[in-house]
Amino acid sequence: MSVTAIEKDSARAVKKIMTSFASTIGNSKKEALCWGVKTSPEMQLEIATVLAKTVTEIGGDKIRGVMVLAQQAKMVGNRTPELKAIPKSHVVYIPNAESWRQDSLLQVILQSSQAGCKAMIGFSTPSKLSLGIYQFLVTKQITDGIVTDWAINMDMPICDIQ
């Protein structure tokens, strides 16, 4: 796990995270399919409230808006009807992603990408996310208002991941 302290204020932390993520859009070597924030459930909900304002401030042409899926998305086949009409260049934010059915979560992430959008998941218990999510995930962590880079150690045996 690598750690770089950035900010303590939650709104500033979200702005730093979104600025960092937005800077990778269009860079095929750095652009992730899914963004993530590892933090407490309370902070995940706070992120949902400040995300739209933050995206408006820093998004430019790369990010134009936010859609928050606070509840498990309804699936029809392997599609989410709520994402059917989402405009291109939006962020689909999913707080408490570990409470979702993981196959549905992965489908929402893929559908967001196919629609020209970015998925961003919030989670506090990484062990509840499926390994399939990890291969697409670039994550920041917020602890006590401090933003750090977060990564699972993929060198460790899968049975040791908790």
Tell me, yes or no, whether 116 lies in a domain. Answer: yes
Asked if residue 94 is part of any domain, the answer here is: yes
The domain containing residue 78 runs over which residues?
10-152
Instruction: Look at the chain and report how many structural domains it folds into.
Output: 1
The answer to whether position 84 is within a domain reads yes
Burial status of residue 1 (CB atoms within 10 A of its CB: 0-12, 13-18, 19 or more): exposed
Ramachandran angles phi, psi of 125, nearest 5°: -120, 90
Per-residue pLDDT, 85: 80
Q: Which CATH number fits the domain that encloses residue 78?
A: 3.40.50.300
Q: Which residues of the chain have pLDDT under 70?
A: 1-9, 28, 59, 151-162
Domain contains 46: yes
- Residue 5 belongs to a domain: no
Q: Is residue 35 part of a domain?
A: yes
pLDDT tens for 124-153 read 988 788 777 777 777 888 887 788 877 665
Q: Does 136 map to a domain? A: yes
